[in-house]
Amino acid sequence: MAKDTKYIFVTGGVLSSLGKGLASAAIGALLESRGLTVTIQKLDPYINVDPGTMNPFQHGEVFVTDDGTETDLDLGHYERFTHAKMGKNNNFTTGKIYHSVITKERKGDYLGGTVQVIPHITDEIKNSVKLAANDVDVLIVEIGGTIGDIESLPFLEAIRQFRADVGKENSLYIHLTLVPYISTAGEVKTKPTQHSVKELRSIGIQPDILLCRTDRFLSKDIKAKISLFCNVSVDAVITAKDVDHIYEVPLIFHQEGLDDQIIELLNIWTRNPQLDNWEELIKKIKAPKHSVTIAVVGKYVDLTESYKSLNEALCHGGISNDCKVNLNFIDSEKLDSGTCIQMLADAEGILVPGGFGQRGIEGKICAANFARVNKVPYFGICLGMQIAVIEFARHVAGLENANSSEFDANTPYPVIYLMREWFDERSQTVQRRDDLSDKGATMRLGAYSCHIENNSFASQAYQKEDISERHRHRYEFNNEFMDQLKEKGMIVSGASPNGELVEIIEIGDHPWFLGCQFHPEFKSRPMEPHPLFRDFIGASLRNSQSRNQQ
Ligand code: GLN
């Protein structure tokens, strides 16, 4: 921890889904635009030690960091909005905190004392906060959940104590609330905000700044009313107005004077904010010259939260092609060789994202087949790459019933399988797995290097030979089938530096067909769109233009 790090704690009131994660990320962006270094941490009140095993239906995407931590999807926003690199210290859950305290207690570290929420759990939380602060000017800490929840109380108590520890000039409480417009009354209502702040004050936290989520700019009078009832200065009542696009949030906050308030209250001297790049970005997003329709063939099609980073990366790919990307989520269970033609007819590019479990697998194979045969640009990510390999093995190499051993343990041709032994670059150890291996422990997680072959879609995109990308999967390409598949035209354009693990496959004689074992979406940013997404959208756009000419 740098000695003079300042802390901003972001809490949320009234109801969930007000955009606390985005607000925290946007605050980070604003402070960076003033030349400060920042990082962001999320404290999650749930008991799971990490979100790795949580169902995407319930919790949305699991975001993966370079160091292989499976985290809350808000960390994806933090990386997309700022230059902060997320890692294991950027996400703590109640489970992780208790796990650590209980482990210490079992080891006898508390010397026989009674272990209690205050001070042992709260001390553990405060230490975890400090762990994330390494050498940045400002650490922004987002507290998950809503004020009033029982389970977030230890976190709130810990951040309350924090101010006593580091002083008022080094800590700031920002509270996000809702100011709804009630159409029957014809006005916005401040009562939910008043109640939420009252609740926060009852546990000893007086917010310094209020972010009021609303669909319109708040008038001076309303701000004055909120200021009076909530004991917050009127300049610190900020309209967090709904926006068309998430990347507008930093600009709206700036317009409302949020960054001025923050640096004043924290007594920081900075340069004026430079937000030209954000303004430029919004201009591009709002008036694209072209548009393209991409079919995303997956399982969680009703809950696009589970593909958060993917959706963002596709949007970034659009920005770099001056193009709006329309996403058409297709439930792979509804796809078969009959329905494919109709359901994918409008798709100018087809993407099969990551996934686990057998449901909808055959539909995804149909989609890959449709893309390959009809020369529609195809992008397979993780499971999507494995699907492309299975499709190619079955229909080009003639390996009937080829499959991944994840979906068919008895397939005669396990072209994707659980590798028994492999050298793990990150831990520098030989890893061994078998069918009984513990679920979480057997995943290949986090950043791994990949060497790229020349004259490939991959080399065209990356324009370099050595890259690093993030992984989250158990199964791998089976090298036993490598020669056979290559002979039939499959190209292995990326592999681990020792050649053991296949990372990228392609199909030649196609406008763009690429599958990667890693998740490139985790590293795409609005200002630096990921090269694979850029080129996939580029190829889809060319496809769209040539269709229009016909
Ligand atoms: N289910 C596959 C595996 O475990 C793919 C995982 C993924 O797409 N993230 O290897």
Integer Cα distance of 41 and 24 in angstroms: 9
Query: What value does the mean pLDDT take over residues 433-441?
Result: 60
Q: Is the CB of 364 under 6 A from ligand 1?
A: no
pLDDT in tens, 66-100: 999 988 889 999 999 999 999 999 999 999 999 99
Q: What is the predicted pLDDT for the residue at 21?
A: 94
Residues in the chain: 550
Could you check whether the bond before residue 119 is cis, i.e. omega within 30 degrees of 0?
A: yes
77 flagged as catalytic: no
Class of domain 6-281: alpha beta
Residue 387 has pLDDT above 70, yes or no: yes
Pick the closest to residue 61 from 308, 330, 351 (CA basis).
Answer: 308
Pick the closest to residue 180 from 197, 166, 194 (CA basis).
Answer: 194
* Confidence grade of residue 2 (pLDDT, cut at 50, 70, 90): very low
Listed range (133-142, 299-308, 350-359) with the worst mean pLDDT: 299-308
* pTM for this model (two decimals): 0.92
Q: Which atom of ligand 1 is nearest to the CA of 357?
A: 1
pLDDT in tens, 270-283: 999 999 999 999 99
What is the DSSP code string of 456-487? Answer: SHHHHHH-SSEEEEEEEES-EE-GGGHHHHHH
Where does the chain hold its CATH 3.40.50.300 domain(s)? 6-281
Residue 240 has pLDDT above 60, yes or no: yes
366 flagged as catalytic: no
Residue 223 has pLDDT above 90, yes or no: yes
Cβ contact 470:523 at 8 Å: yes
Query: What value does the mean pLDDT take over residues 121-125?
Result: 97
The residue whose CB lies within 8 Å of the most ligand 1 atoms, and thus the one to mutate among 63, 474, 522, is 474
Listed range (62-71, 77-86, 222-231, 433-442) with the worst mean pLDDT: 433-442
pLDDT in tens, 421-432: 888 888 888 988
Q: What is the predicted pLDDT for the residue at 299?
A: 79
Q: Is the CB of 406 under 6 A from ligand 1?
A: yes
Q: What is the predicted pLDDT for the residue at 1?
A: 46
Integer Cα distance of 230 and 224 in angstroms: 10
Report CA(493)–ligand 1 centroid distance (Å): 20
Q: Which atom of ligand 1 is nearest to the CA of 406?
A: 1
Q: Is the CB of 354 under 6 A from ligand 1?
A: yes
Query: What value does the mean pLDDT take over residues 348-377?
Result: 95
Task: Return the percentage of the chain with pLDDT > 70, whole number.
Answer: 96
Q: Which atom of ligand 1 is nearest to the CA of 355?
A: 8
Residue range 288-549, CATH number:
3.40.50.880
From the candidates 382, 471, 503, 516, give the one annotated as an active-site residue.
382
Q: Which atom of ligand 1 is nearest to the CA of 443?
A: 4
* Confidence grade of residue 123 (pLDDT, cut at 50, 70, 90): very high
Q: What is the predicted pLDDT for the residue at 303?
A: 66
Residue nearest to atom 6 of ligand 1 (CA): 473
Pick the closest to residue 155 from 164, 145, 170 (CA basis).
Answer: 145
Q: What is the predicted pLDDT for the residue at 295?
A: 96
* Confidence grade of residue 415 (pLDDT, cut at 50, 70, 90): very high
From the candidates 59, 175, 519, 530, give the one annotated as an active-site residue.
519
